[in-house]
């Protein structure tokens, strides 16, 4: 996964706690780099030509018969179409059942004292609004680098991550895809190692 300068369409470092978005054209590759290690990258995908068609965690899970995302996972829309494919993964597995943190759910999970902490839904709403997206357009998302096991009795939770500094995951767009990202600001659980750090987003052709 090395890229030459000629191949690079864009290369951004997303600050800790910040949002990011871009349209990745069909055939282009989006490489995400976990610069500091164990940094959850919350991610939603939309058909750039019609954002009513968007990522669907359940269609993706049912389509592959498995909860975890890794190399070969087809990231499907609610219409069942493949928006992007995971073409390489240096971590092993990523989550798509845990959703995004929000100020509102933080009050349930940790207490009402967390209400004024920043959260992924804030990033999705702010960054999505630049593309005409609203609250109605937010659905269960992907959490790159986040580790959410399910025990035999159904217990699940966000536990210590499997990632490390520099590990990458690369996605190929199958349709022109709007990628919406929140570099997760959560500090109340291990999804960011309790220390949100920057991530790098590289689009290549």
Partner 1 sequence: MTEDSSTATTLGAREHARAQGGARAEAMPTLPASSWAPPPDGVDPATLTWAETVAGGGYTSKLISRGSTVRLTDVAGDACAHLLLFNADQSWERLNVADTVKVLWQAYLGTGHLLLSDQGRVLASIVADTSVRHDALCGTSSRLRNEGRYGDGAAQGPSPAGRELQVLAAAKHGMAGRDVGPGLSFFKGVRAESDGALTWIGAAPAGSFVELRAEMPLVVVIANVPHPLDPRPEYTCSTLEVLAWSGPGTAASDPLRTASPEAERAFLNTDDYLAARGIR
Residue 136 interacting with partner 1 (CB under 8 A): yes
Q: Write each residue from 57 to 76 as x if it is in contact with partner 1 (CB under 8 A), else as -, in one continuous string.
A: xxx-xxx-xxxx--------
Contact indicator for 61, 74 with CB cutoff of 8 Å = no
Residue 109 interacting with partner 1 (CB under 8 A): yes
Residue 154 interacting with partner 1 (CB under 8 A): yes
Contact indicator for 182, 97 with CB cutoff of 8 Å = no
Residue 123 — φ and ψ, nearest 5°? -65, -45
Strand order in the sheet with 41-47: 19-24, 177-183, 41-47, 142-144
100 vs 180, which CB is nearer to partner 1?
100
Site for partner 1 in 2-31 (CB under 8 A): none
Q: Which long-range contacts (CB under 8 A, 24 or more apart) does 133-137 make?
A: 133/46, 133/51, 133/180, 137/46, 137/51, 137/54
> Distances in Å between the alpha carbon of 27 and those of 51, 54, 171, 196?
19, 18, 10, 31
Supply the DSSP symbol for 53.
S
Residue 44 interacting with partner 1 (CB under 8 A): no
Structure tokens that stand for 104 in this block? 């509102």
Q: Which of 1, 15, 79, 159 binds partner 1 (CB under 8 A)?
A: 79
- Nearest C-alpha neighbor of 96 from the set 29, 144, 30: 144
The CB-of-140 to partner 1 minimum distance in angstroms stands at 5
Q: Which of 71, 139, 168, 174 binds partner 1 (CB under 8 A)?
A: 139
Q: Label residues 155-181 b or e (16+ Cβ within 10 Å = b).
A: eeebeebebeeebbbbbbbbbbbbbbb
Residue 98 interacting with partner 1 (CB under 8 A): yes
Residue 159 interacting with partner 1 (CB under 8 A): no
Stretch that binds partner 1, among 19-27, 101-109, 159-167, 179-187 (CB under 8 A): 101-109
The CB-of-83 to partner 1 minimum distance in angstroms stands at 13
Residue 131 interacting with partner 1 (CB under 8 A): no
Stretch that binds partner 1, among 2-10, 26-34, 148-156, 192-200 (CB under 8 A): 148-156
User: Where does this chain bind partner 1 (CB under 8 A)?
Assistant: 52, 56-59, 61-63, 65-68, 78-81, 93, 97-100, 102, 104-105, 107-109, 111-112, 121, 134-141, 148-150, 152-158
């Amino acid at each position: 996964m090395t890229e030459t300068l000629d191949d690079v369409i864009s290369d951004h470092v997303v600050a800790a706690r910040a949002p990011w978005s871009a349209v990745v054209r069909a055939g282009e590759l989006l490489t995400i780099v976990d610069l500091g290690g164990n940094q959850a990258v919350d991610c939603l995908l939309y058909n750039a030509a019609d954002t009513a068609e968007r990522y669907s965690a359940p269609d993706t899970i049912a389509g592959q018969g498995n909860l975890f995302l890794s190399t070969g996972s087809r990231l499907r829309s609610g219409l069942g179409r493949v928006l992007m494919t995971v073409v390489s993964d240096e971590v092993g597995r990523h989550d798509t059942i845990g959703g995004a943190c929000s100020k509102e759910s933080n009050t349930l999970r940790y207490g009402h004292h967390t209400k004024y902490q920043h959260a992924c839904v804030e990033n999705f709403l702010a960054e999505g609004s630049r593309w005409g997206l609203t609250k109605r357009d937010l659905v269960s998302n992907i959490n790159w680098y986040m580790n959410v096991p399910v025990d035999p009795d159904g217990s699940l939770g966000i536990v210590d991550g499997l990632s490390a500094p520099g590990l990458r995951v690369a996605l190929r767009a199958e349709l022109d895809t709007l990628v919406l990202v929140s570099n997760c600001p959560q500090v109340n659980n291990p999804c960011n190692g309790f220390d949100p750090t920057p991530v790098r987003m590289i689009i290549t052709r």
